[in-house]
Structures are given as structure tokens and as C-alpha cells.
């Protein structure tokens, strides 16, 4: 009985740790006026993919160009070989009509 009482708090702590670890993934928004443009808007540290997409939808409605797009990405790290380039675990690309594609 004592083992069960000990296992329950340990299991609860483990679930709390794993849930906080999973939700700590930050998302990055990048908005482009033209597809391969170096001029872009960036907002890092968004708390979820949904938050990033909502930010992107507000941003895209303010743009005049038809070639406007934005990306939401997570798990990004700077590339050691190519400075200025990030490698991301997941990246989704959106245009005015919505989601174009996601890559992992």
C-alpha cells in the first residue's frame, strides 16, 4: 500500500514535467512580402502553433501584395555551417488562401 501511495505522487510529478516540457516549445513567425525576399518581419517566442497562425492571419490582412506569405516554425536552431540559416523541426508555410504545406 505504501508503494502505491509513493508511486501516485511520482507519476503526477512526471506528467506535470512532461506536459510543461511539451508546451514549452516556442514557435517563430516570419512574414515575407515576396517569396524569396530578404526583407521580412519576425516574431519569435510565440507559445503555440495556433498563436503563430493567428498572428500571421492578422499580419497578412494588413499586406497589399498578392505575393505575401508567412511561415510558422518550431524547434529551430542556428546552423553551424551556414550562418544566418536556421534548421527547424517543423515549418508550415501559409499564403492568403491558407496553409500551403508543412514539412518536418
Q: How far apart are CA 77 and CA 87, in angstroms?
A: 5
Mean pLDDT in the chain?
Answer: 78
Q: What is the pTM of this model?
A: 0.66
Position 21 confidence tier, pLDDT thresholds 50, 70, 90: very low
Inter-residue contact 28 to 46 (CB < 8 Å): yes
Q: Is 75 helix (H, G, I), strand (E, B) or coil?
A: coil
Inter-residue contact 32 to 69 (CB < 8 Å): yes
Q: Residue 14 pLDDT more than 80?
A: no
Bridge partners (DSSP) of residue 46 are 27
Inter-residue contact 82 to 70 (CB < 8 Å): no
Amino acid at each position: 500500500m505504501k508503494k502505491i501511495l509513493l508511486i501516485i505522487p511520482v507519476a503526477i510529478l512526471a506528467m506535470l514535467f512532461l506536459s510543461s516540457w511539451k508546451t514549452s516549445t516556442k514557435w517563430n513567425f516570419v512574414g515575407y512580402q515576396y517569396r524569396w525576399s530578404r526583407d521580412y518581419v519576425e516574431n519569435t517566442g510565440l507559445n503555440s502553433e495556433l498563436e503563430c497562425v493567428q498572428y500571421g492571419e492578422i499580419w497578412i490582412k494588413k499586406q497589399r501584395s498578392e505575393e505575401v506569405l508567412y511561415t510558422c516554425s518550431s524547434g529551430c536552431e542556428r546552423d553551424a555551417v551556414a550562418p544566418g540559416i536556421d534548421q527547424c523541426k517543423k515549418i508550415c508555410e501559409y499564403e492568403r488562401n491558407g496553409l500551403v504545406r508543412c514539412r518536418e
